[in-house]
Amino acid sequence: MATTTDELRIAEIPTGIDIDPVTLDIIEGALKSARYEMDAVLFRSAMSPVIREQHDEFPMITDPRGRMVVGQFGAYINEMMEDWDQGIYEGDVILCADPFKCSASISHTNDWLVLVPIFHSGELVGWSSQFGHMMDVGGRLPGSLPTNAKTIYDEGLIIPPIKVVERGEIQKPVLSLILNNMRNAAMNRADLFALIAGCRSGEKRVQELCDRFGKETYLVALQALLDRTYAAMKQLINWAIPETPQSFEDYVDDDGLGNGPFKMKLTIWREGDHAFFDWSGTDPQAMGPVNFYLSEGMFKMFIGIYLIMVNDPQILFNDGFYPLLHIILPEGCLLRPRFPSALGCRTHALARMFDVLGGALCKQAPEINTAAGYGTSPYMLYSGWGEKGDFFFAMEILYGGIPGRPIGDGMDGHSWWPLFENIPTEYLEAYYPLRIDGYTTITDSGGPGLHRGGNGVEKRYIYLEPGQVSIHDDRWLTRPWGVLGGLPGGRSEKILKRADGTEERLPSKCDEIEVVPGDMLVYRTAGGGGWKDRLDRPIEVVVKDVSYGLVSSDYAKEGYGVVINADGSADEAATAKERERQRTERGDALAFDYGPPLAEVLANCKAETGLEPPIPAVPLRWSPLEPGDEAQLRVRLADNMPGDIVTA
């Protein structure tokens, strides 16, 4: 990294020293505990319910070279510090909230990323870092995520890497400039210091490990852990990635400005021990804020996690395998948008990326072959001024149907994001002018399958003060697909039932919806797709779903061929007949079932959803799409991977 500091000494990783396997495993365990401790410290002291209750935050510890040794999203230190010229000292804390200045390690301005250099006996031995979603970072709308943003300048304060603490001294002017732009400065301040407290605990643990084992041993262990993951991934790549290119595509429905749907296409193939992941064929970037600036490192991490999850889930996820993966992202596509594109509502494309990745990997690796889920991060935001003139701002992330899985049904109304939780109704009602009329899952919204897709969520918000509401959701148009004979899950929808008795459909992405006391928003998220043949689902399991109210009797017959008697039991003879009839009618089960073809979906859009269909997007003049073969050549050169250009 470029630094002008004359003092910074970066610890060298010693070579030629062997580490005994037991010490290695001990250091691995200690790093894992350190990472969970970082979480625990943050949750207990943060204020924003999005971090604390919903756990929208991600910790990491790196080696001296900035490679992640434990964490979730992969390292970003080197890209971030490339142009750094303000020195790095013990006690520093660097803050960043600019996706374009950290290689997209954070993907919108709401994520505040904190970086703490870790020193031991005067040398830099690593970094501890954590980022979390701030409730608000200023700008035009509370929440800083306008659904009609056209550039990043609509999305609140853009903070380049900057020191908020230098050598232990809080930089008050910097902090004051930042917090002056926030609607609820106290909350941002608390959450920032909570992030710092989390990083400090990681720092402390690393220093203790250096004390205990000696700095050299510690560093050798880090390299060995990276090597271990490298070796493991090499095997997995050979096992899971085919040499023949294999493609999968899916869509983000719209961009909040009426454009869409946006195709995302991934082609994967293997050359020796190396794997290529090529996003050519993905649509150009959107005018609206649904662009997802995909960090290469983060994407490599996602691939690794998918592959490793089914093998040795105890393994420490780290950057070790990065050199084995080559990511092709054409400049100007939805996943590699150019500055200054709007990025706020990137969770739809982020979630879809996993659907596409899973789809592309799945033929070769049946163990990780799951269906698609609710496929986004549905938000509800509500703000206004209360009776006494006090500003209020509530924000909640909702969940939906988890895909049907090899291990069993998809969970109903659960979070697809790891460790996220819902906000207690009693918390919402105690602090905001809201009443929750009901919080449940939507009967029949899970895609039928041998293993059923999870049901989507229905949450009914009654607003008690005049204010404005925003909604962010997707999968209102295209369906979460099912696999190997499973059907797609149900789509999302929003109905605003006005206090005056009228009712309207709201789009899945909208802002500044004026509400008055007594208005009720019925927020329904999408279900998950089913896994394997729905007509093979054991009859008693369907009967149980019906008795639980998760599947209706009618849908038991339509979706599973199970005929339910008036007393709730199954009519076995009628069921056998019905299943036989449906099997004949259907023929072979589909490998992927998306529901009706896209053209038909668009044609029926208004009739089925009450909303106008999106219009195909026009490429932006200021961001032409880089052709796929040029992008591939660029990556082959940069990664030193000569070879012919491969096309899907």
Site for another protein in 54-113 (CB under 8 A): 72
Two tokens at 24? 């290695």
Contact between 47 and another protein per CB under 8 A: yes
Dihedral sign (CA 95, 330, 306, 490): positive
Part in contact with another protein (CB under 8 A); list of ranges 4-12, 264-272, 318-326, 415-423: 415-423
- Contact with another protein (CB under 8 A): which of 436, 591, 598, 611? 436
Contact between 497 and another protein per CB under 8 A: no
Part in contact with another protein (CB under 8 A); list of ranges 105-113, 261-269, 406-414, 491-499: 406-414
Place of tokens 């393994």: 315
Helix-strand-coil split of the chain, %, nearest 5: 30, 25, 45
Residues with Cβ within 8 Å of 257's Cβ and at least 6 positions away in sequence, in order, are 148, 150, 286, 287, 288
**Please, which residue, 236 or 327, has the CB nearer to another protein?**
236
Q: Tell me how far CA of residue 643 lies from CA of 214, 241, 280, in angstroms.
A: 44, 18, 17
What is the CB neighbour count within 10 angstroms for residue 502?
Answer: 9
Give min distance, CB of 152 to another protein, in A: 25
Radius of gyration for the chain, computed over Cα atoms and rounded to the nearest angstrom: 25
**Please, which residue, 389 or 587, has the CB nearer to another protein?**
389
Binding mask 176-195 for another protein (x = CB under 8 A): ---------xxx-xx--xx-
The residues in 278-307 that bind another protein, with binding defined as CB under 8 A, are: 301-302, 305-306
- Contact with another protein (CB under 8 A): which of 7, 14, 44, 177? 44
Give min distance, CB of 11 to another protein, in A: 24
Contact between 560 and another protein per CB under 8 A: no
Residue type, 451: H
Two tokens at 80? 């971030």
- Contact with another protein (CB under 8 A): which of 12, 14, 40, 610? 40
DSSP code at position 408 = B
Two tokens at 207? 């220093």
Contact between 213 and another protein per CB under 8 A: no
**Please, which residue, 547 or 647, has the CB nearer to another protein?**
547
Concatenating the DSSP letter of every residue in 456-497 gives PEEEEEEE-S-EEEEEE---SSS-PPEETTPPPPPPPEEEEE
- Contact with another protein (CB under 8 A): which of 4, 244, 314, 502? 314
Give min distance, CB of 412 to another protein, in A: 6
The residues in 138-177 that bind another protein, with binding defined as CB under 8 A, are: none
What is the CB neighbour count within 10 angstroms for residue 586?
Answer: 13
Three-class SS of residue 70?
strand
Contact 435, 462 (CB under 8 A): yes
The residues in 458-477 that bind another protein, with binding defined as CB under 8 A, are: 460
Two tokens at 581? 């009839």
413: left (phi over 0), alpha (psi -120 to 50) or beta: left
What is the CB neighbour count within 10 angstroms for residue 152?
Answer: 24
Contact between 365 and another protein per CB under 8 A: no
> Which helix (H) or strand (E) is 66 found in, with range?
none
Q: How many residues bind another protein (CB under 8 A)?
A: 91
Contact between 424 and another protein per CB under 8 A: yes
Residue type, 223: Q
- Contact with another protein (CB under 8 A): which of 2, 16, 430, 567? 430
> Which helix (H) or strand (E) is 160 found in, with range?
strand 159-166
Contact between 407 and another protein per CB under 8 A: yes
The candidate with the shortest Cα–Cα distance to 345, out of 157, 152, 492, 184, is 152
Part in contact with another protein (CB under 8 A); list of ranges 4-12, 344-352, 530-538, 543-551: 543-551
Give the side-chain half-sphere CA count within 13 A for 380.
Answer: 27
Contact between 37 and another protein per CB under 8 A: yes
**Please, which residue, 100 or 230, has the CB nearer to another protein?**
230
The residues in 233-262 that bind another protein, with binding defined as CB under 8 A, are: 235-236
- Contact with another protein (CB under 8 A): which of 10, 25, 510, 591? 25
**Please, which residue, 52 or 336, has the CB nearer to another protein?**
52
Binding mask 219-238 for another protein (x = CB under 8 A): ---------x--xx--xx--
**Please, which residue, 122 or 168, has the CB nearer to another protein?**
168
Give min distance, CB of 37 to another protein, in A: 5
**Please, which residue, 389 or 418, has the CB nearer to another protein?**
418
Residue type, 444: D
